[in-house]
Amino acid sequence: MVIKLLKSLLALLFLAAFYPVLALPTMRVDYYHTGNISQELFSLDKIVIEPLSWPGNPQKAIDDSNLGKYFFEVIDRNTNRVIYSRGFASIYGEWETTDEAKSLNRTFHESLRFPAPASPAQVVLKKRDTNNAFREIWSLVIDPKDIFIDRSKASSSTKLIEIVKNGNPENKVDLLILGDGYTSAEQSKFERDARRLSDLLFATSPFKEHKQDFNVWGLCPVSAESGVSRPSTGLYRSSPLGCSYDAFGSERYVLTYDNRAFRTIASFAPYDFVEILVNNRTYGGGGIFNLYGTVAGDSTWAPYIFVHEFGHHFAGLADEYYTSSVAYNPPTVKLEPWEPNVTALLDPNNLKWKDLVLSSTPIPTPWEKDAYEKYSIEYQKKRSRIRGENRPEDEMDALFQENKENDKKTLGQEKYFGKVGAFEGAVYEAKGYYRPEADCIMFTRSESFCTVCRRAIERVIDLYK
């Protein structure tokens, strides 16, 4: 009997060596997120089985990064075991900090994606509370045999472009580059733009050193018109993904609120992360952790915007600048930010990146903050005037170049330049928040990430490959 069992086990091991485990389907929960500054509600839209199998590494199903304003878990109902989890941020999570959320309700369409469970599972959505701990705010039980799960086999008329292929999706970080506002005649332009920006990303550390850990794919649905909407100038376009400038009233912020269109188009490619190239020249972009990033592909500053905004989307990096105008209101209670590259320094002895700080570097770290702010105030006035008068983009590009050169020169002269410390001024606040180094691509139009940001990016890479 023992010999028979051993033979059976050997046969199974032999088959496993030559026949891969069946790929799991990709399940997506689409839901509506409604509320205002003081309340939020959730309602199910539908549950979908996407066209492609799950692209993720089955050995990396649990997220222990503690990143994101929100977090969800998929729990097996039979064993009460968490079988998948991920942290993320959302458009709603940003919108609720704006003035508009004080006076009206809005609804945003959102999605959760995960490998389809084989048996009934509970999806639990959590949000950080006033103590920064995740608390359950919505829960949904899913029976994979439910006849109302959408299993329809849609087809895509958009060609999937292989930009970088280093292996099977489950063993790589899969980046999908989507195009928006590219007409039928501009499809080859999209491919050139996507390849150009992909090359730029992998010329930047630490992506440069980890290129072999990525696959990059491209999809570009055909647009009837070239470009995307820019309401502040009276420009409106009906583009497949619905991207637009002026999100939250910020002329440079590019987002799409059409989550359903975004998810449907993206579902025809294996992806962990998404970058949307909008076919415009005007400076603009955006990035939301674990949702997507955007960039105006034809902007002179596309290389910087792409990498900066991808830092938000990929690793949950915070903006380190604080002199530019934004639509968000500061938090009423000062908490330690969840983002890995900024701190409230509530406990200087336990700085979250203290292992990277030399004993000779003081905390907080002194820098010529007043001089920087004096220059920046005048620069922001010039910037506002150029946009307010709808001046040619060349004038804005020239101002940005002047600003970049000034920042590089003045910050490069700081006593602690290149050293990790705690430099006051970050995450849109001049006081009370600190960044790790004097300069970084998350602070200015620098060309490199600081040490803390590089480490944060590498930790996310490790979670997916």
List, for residues 289-324, the tens digit of each pLDDT value: 999 999 999 999 999 999 999 999 999 999 999 998
Name the CA dihedral angle for 259, 261, 267, 273, rounded to a multiple of 10 degrees: -40
Rg (CA), the chain: 23
Q: Are 83 and 67 in contact (CB under 8 A)?
A: no
> How does residue 334 score in pLDDT terms, banded at 50, 70 and 90?
confident
Round to whole Å and give the CA distance between 7 and 283: 66
- Structural tokens at position 381: 């006035």
pLDDT at 22: 62
Average pLDDT over residues 10-35: 67
Average pLDDT over residues 352-371: 97
Could you tell me the CA-to-CA distances from 295 to 71, 88, 258, 380, 460 in Å, in that order? 26, 20, 17, 21, 21
Which of 309, 325, 225, 245 has its CA nearest to residue 274?
Answer: 309
Structural domains of the chain sorted by starting position, each given as residue range(s) with its CATH number in brackets: 25-142 (2.60.40.3250), 161-315 (3.40.390.10), 348-441 (no CATH)
pLDDT-wise least confident of 134-138, 155-159, 408-412 = 155-159
Instruction: Express as a percent the part of the chain with pLDDT over 90.
Output: 90
Round to whole Å and give the CA distance between 244 and 249: 11
pTM value is 0.92
Phi-psi region of 432 (alpha: psi -120 to 50; beta: other; left: phi over 0): left
Work out the mean pLDDT of the chain and round it to a whole number.
Answer: 93
Q: In terms of C-beta density within 10 A (0-12 exposed, 13-18 middle, 19 or more buried), how is residue 434 classed?
A: buried
Q: Please provide residue 290's backbone torsions phi and psi, each rounded to the nearest 5 degrees.
A: 60, 20
Could you tell me the CA-to-CA distances from 81 to 26, 75, 123, 348 in Å, in that order? 19, 5, 12, 37
Q: How far is C-alpha 42 from the chain's CA centre?
A: 22
pLDDT at 83: 98
Give the sign of the dihedral formed by CA 89, CA 95, CA 97, CA 102.
negative
Say if residue 206 is preceded by a cis peptide, omega within 30 of 0: yes
Round to whole Å and give the CA distance between 415 and 434: 17
Which of 285, 289, 271, 157 has its CA nearest to residue 218?
Answer: 271
pLDDT at 31: 98
Question: Beta strand 255-256 with 423-426: parallel, antiparallel or unpaired?
Answer: unpaired
Q: What pLDDT, in 10s, does the model give residues 228-266?
A: 999 999 999 999 999 999 999 999 999 999 999 999 999
Average pLDDT over residues 79-91: 98
pLDDT for residue 19 is more than 70: no
> How does residue 16 score in pLDDT terms, banded at 50, 70 and 90?
very low
Round to whole Å and give the CA distance between 422 and 4: 66
Q: What pLDDT, in 10s, does the model give residues 449-458?
A: 999 999 999 9
Task: Provide the CB-side half-sphere exposure for 174 (13 A, CA).
Answer: 22
Could you tell me the CA-to-CA distances from 158 to 49, 52, 120, 183, 431 in Å, in that order? 19, 15, 34, 12, 48
pLDDT-wise least confident of 181-190, 258-267, 392-401 = 392-401
Residue by residue, DSSP assigns 69-82 as SEEEEEEETTT--E
Could you tell me the CA-to-CA distances from 319 to 60, 282, 337, 343 in Å, in that order? 28, 21, 12, 12
Other CB atoms within 10 A of residue 18 CB: 6
Beta bridge partners of 423: 435
pLDDT for residue 23 is more than 90: no
pLDDT for residue 273 is more than 60: yes
